[in-house]
Amino acid sequence: MSSNRLTAISLFASSGIGDLALNAAGVDVLVASELLPDRADLFRTNFPETEMITGDIRENIETIIAATQRKLKGKQLDILFATPPCQGMSKNGRGKLLRGVRDGLKDALDPRNQLATFVPTIVESLNPSVVLFENVPEMESTLVENSEGQLVDLLEYLQLLMPKYEGVWKTIEFADYGVPQRRQRLITIFVRKDLASKKQLASDLISIYPKPTHSNKPSGSLKPWITVNEVVSHLPFLDAKDSKSARSEIPFHYVSVLEPRKYFWVSNTKLGQSAFDNQCVNSACLASDNPIHSSTRDEVGVNTGSRKTPIHCHKCGDLLPRPVVEENGELRLMKGFTSAYKRMRGDLPSSALTTNLSYVMSDQKVHPTQNRPLSLLEAMMLHTISDFEWKWELPNGKQASDKLIRESIGESIPPRGLLLIFQNVFGLLFEDYSYEIQKISNVS
């Protein structure tokens, strides 16, 4: 820990990928908190000087406060960074919640959304200069219960619980900050009012966000979005048809072999399209006008795929190379969204990487030109982890599992874009602010 660097704590830290940006931005993360032990272990490997507190934050509030005060040694805490769980807020999570409510299996409110409301207690004790929340855009419309059991807007409630702070929130497209991934996140910033006033930001706090550096429609100083092809096209060819073709000698550049039926669907999927839209491959027919897949929202808002999408060619009757399952001895269309089994476009940034990024049935995760999903290495590069020094290793020396790697990436925010945000915010708020980025060419 350096005496001239800023200080921070990180709550709901997961494996610490977002904290790479804090570290590169000249910040020492003194204390971190994470519920899941495997994520916490990966964090410890990469941030050995940070005190990691594992477990439910609701049970560790006093421990977090005491540990932070001990490590501060009387200094000011500059930053509190919080990335509470988004599963109850995201579109996918909300859809599952609505379905559960409809079926009488879940309450109307997801208890995970309530976790953010425990952050103000820590803020009140530690009095940081700035509080930053990162979450999905749906956080802006998320409802929670207040202390009286009433349903209230989450962000407005956080503002109410932190009266000494001025808050602002904005949805950021990370592709606009040079990240080769279209990933939208709500960045919420609370600045202590005395500091905002001193920096003349109180009346114009929205200016604390940096201006975009890239655009889908570049002009002036804006550069074009960074595309999938620019980042991964140089990597060795992989094919998910068999085990020999599915692996390379480069660490993390491998994929799982697809079962024959899935390979059949994927191999017939065109650029930018879903396997649900595949047309006839019977050489004597090749009809290309079979109805494509569609989706609708039901009466409670759950987005569901059409069940009327045909699986047989309307002209010759052959089975189309579309995702199907057998049920009661008959084939039917697999349930899925229009973005499932979809081949991504190489001339755009990738879609948002999720915890299912290694599966072809995930959202737009079929390689642009090869019959396979993304490799873990490609995901690391598209997520910009490869900009920084990072080890996929646990404290016992064992390599992190593929599952842990996928989940860590899917749960985190691309550190390259987050670094630009931190740089702008900290540069406006803190005197004599400077930082140095350590960049390397790969991860281990």
What the block records as the tokens of 208 is 């604390």
Q: What is the pTM of this model?
A: 0.91
Closest by Cα among 191, 168, 116, 125 to 146: 116
Rounded Cα gap, residues 289 and 130, in angstroms: 56
Range scoring the smallest mean pLDDT among 282-286, 317-321, 336-340, 385-389: 336-340
**Could you tell me the pLDDT band of residue 406, with boundaries at 50, 70 and 90?**
very high
Range scoring the smallest mean pLDDT among 205-214, 250-259, 395-404, 435-444: 435-444
Q: Which residues pair with 229 in a beta bridge?
A: none
The structural domains of the chain, with segments of one domain joined by +, span 6-222+391-429
Question: 3-class SS at 160?
Answer: helix
Mean pLDDT of the chain: 90
Range scoring the smallest mean pLDDT among 62-76, 177-191, 196-210, 343-357: 196-210
DSSP letters for 313-356:
-TTT-PBPSS-EEEETTEEEEPP--TTTTBBPPTTSPEEPP-TT
**Could you tell me the pLDDT band of residue 444, with boundaries at 50, 70 and 90?**
very low
Mean predicted confidence (pLDDT) in 103-108: 56
Q: What is the pLDDT of residue 335?
A: 83
Q: What is the pLDDT of residue 379?
A: 98
pLDDT tens column, 350-394:
999 999 999 998 889 999 999 999 999 999 999 999 999 999 999
Question: Per residue in 5-28, is it b (16+ CB within 10 Å) or e — as a string?
Answer: ebbbbbbbbbbbbbbbbbbbbbbb
Question: 3-class SS at 139?
Answer: helix
pLDDT tens column, 155-165:
999 999 999 99
Tell which wins on pLDDT, 344 or 136. Answer: 344
Tell which wins on pLDDT, 441 or 404. Answer: 404
Mean predicted confidence (pLDDT) in 400-426: 96
| Superfamily grouping for domain 6-222+391-429 | Vaccinia Virus protein VP39 (3.40.50.150)
Element (H, E) at 138: none
Rounded Cα gap, residues 425 and 429, in angstroms: 6
